[in-house]
Amino acid sequence: MTPDEYVEAVLALVERIPPGRAMSYGAVADALAERSGRASPRLVGSIMARHGGGVPWHRVVNAAGRLPPGHERKARERLLAEGCPLRGDRVDLAAASWSPDEGM
């Protein structure tokens, strides 16, 4: 799997995240690890930072439920509009957590 394909896989998975749900970078990396073989939360983070435009990036947060730096306000509004469980300025991953298996 080439880095380019890995990027595509990450974006494709993020697109699959249903409204009102969310995934952590680590969860995305872990889910893709089975297909790509290599996975690092930091890779997913950098990929989202560079190629995140065009996908619901606000549904991807870090393990603590923190929103992406510089877009916290925007992400919170969008998540709120989708009915995603929020706890203050953080996503309640306990309730919003989603895995690819659920969506198929």
Chain residues binding DNA by CB under 7 A are 3, 24-26, 38, 40-46, 48-49, 52-53, 57, 60, 62-64, 66, 68-69, 71
Tell the smallest beta-carbon distance from residue 83 to DNA (Å): 20
Tell the smallest beta-carbon distance from residue 36 to DNA (Å): 9
CB nearer to DNA: pick between 49 and 102: 49
Q: How far is it, in rounded angstroms, from Cα 66 to Cα 3?
A: 27
Question: Long-range contacts made by residues 29-33, C-beta under 8 angstroms, separation at least 24?
Answer: 31/99, 31/100, 32/6
Backbone phi, psi, residue 22, to 5°: -155, 160
CB nearer to DNA: pick between 42 and 103: 42
Tell the smallest beta-carbon distance from residue 17 to DNA (Å): 13
Tell the smallest beta-carbon distance from residue 69 to DNA (Å): 5
CB nearer to DNA: pick between 20 and 72: 72
Angstrom distances, CA of residue 85 to CA of 44, 57, 91, 95: 23, 16, 6, 7
